[in-house]
Amino acid sequence: MSLVVRGGHVVGPGGLCRADVLMEDGIVQALSRHGTPSGRGVDAGGCLVFPGLIDTHVHMGFEAGGVLSTDDFASGSRAAAFGGVTTLIDYALPMRGETLAAALHSRRAAAEGRCHVDYGLHVILPPYRYNQPIEIVQCLETGATSFKLFTIYPDLRLGAGELFEAMSWIVRAGGLALVHAEDAEFVESRTRVLVEQGATGADGHLASRPAVAEAMAVARVLHLQAETGCPVHFVHISSGTAAQLIGEAKARGADVSWETCPHYLVLDAAVCRRADAHRYLVSPAIKTREDRAALWAALQGGELDTVATDHCPFTAAQKDAGRDDFTRVPTGLPGVETTLPLLYTEWQDRGLDLGRLAVVTSQTPAQRFGLYPRKGIVAPGSDADLVVYDPGTRGVIRAEALHMNVDWSPYEGRSYRGSVRAVVSRGRVLIEDGTWCGEEPGGTYLPRGSAVRAVAQGG
Would you tell me which residues interact with Zn ion (CB under 5 A)?
310
The residue among 182 and 390 lying less far from Zn ion, judged by its C-beta, is: 182
Q: How far is the CB of 451 from Zn ion (least distance, A)?
A: 19
* C-alpha span between 154 and 65 (Å, rounded): 11
Q: Which residue is nearest to Zn ion (CB)?
A: 310
Q: Which is nearer to Zn ion, 285 or 420 (CB)?
A: 285
d(CA 325, CA 314): 16
User: Is the CB of 261 or the CB of 304 nearer to Zn ion?
Assistant: 261
Shortest reach from residue 103's CB to Zn ion, in Å: 16
In the complex with Zn ion, the residue whose CB is nearer, 305 or 310, is: 310
Q: Which is nearer to Zn ion, 337 or 383 (CB)?
A: 337
- Residue 331: CB minimum distance to Zn ion, A: 10
- Closer residue to Zn ion, CB minimum distance, 60 or 387: 60
**Minimum Å distance from CB 310 to Zn ion?**
4
Give Cα separations from 66 to 63, 132, 155, 195, 314 (angstroms). Answer: 6, 27, 12, 21, 12
Closer to Zn ion at the Cβ: 6 or 59?
59
CB of 283 to Zn ion, least distance (A): 8
- Least gap, CB of 182 to Zn ion (angstroms): 12
CB of 57 to Zn ion, least distance (A): 5
Angle between helices 100-111 and 133-141 in degrees, nearest 10: 30
To the nearest whole angstrom, how small is the minimum distance from the Cβ of residue 68 to Zn ion? Answer: 15
CB of 264 to Zn ion, least distance (A): 13
* Contact yes or no for 417/409 (Cβ under 8 A): no
Which of 268, 310 has the CB closer to Zn ion? Answer: 310
| Closer by beta carbon to Zn ion, 281 or else 386 | 281
